[in-house]
Amino acid sequence: GPAGRGGFTATAMCSVSDEPPTLLVCMNGRSTQAAMFLANRRFCVNVLTHDHMHLAGKFAGATRDMEARYSAARWQTLA
């Protein structure tokens, strides 16, 4: 989005409705990511397995540098 790329590890999410497709993901309002997510008005959820614990750790705050977080895996940009 226009505010840039960011990311965080959510420990839970749930489906709210099928029509329209809606997910509930909670983020602490004091998070350094909160303003960016509100400004972008969009997000993508990646569901990880146990094999991705290192990646989840990076996005949970093991590193604050967003480029370092994203360089830990291969990504594709969606339309």
Q: Provide the pLDDT for residue 50.
A: 94
Q: Provide the pLDDT for residue 42.
A: 86
Structural domains in the chain (count): 1
Print the domain residue range for 30.
13-70
Task: Count other C-beta atoms under 10 Å from residue 10's C-beta.
Answer: 16
Is 7 contained in some domain?
Answer: no
Is 8 contained in some domain?
Answer: no
> Alpha-carbon torsion 6, 66, 9, 55, what sign?
positive
Reported as a single tens digit per residue, the pLDDT across 10-33 is 988 999 999 999 999 988 888 888
Average pLDDT over residues 41-69: 88
Is 57 contained in some domain?
Answer: yes
> What value does the mean pLDDT of the chain take?
89
- 27 φψ region: left (φ > 0), alpha (ψ -120 to 50), beta (else): beta
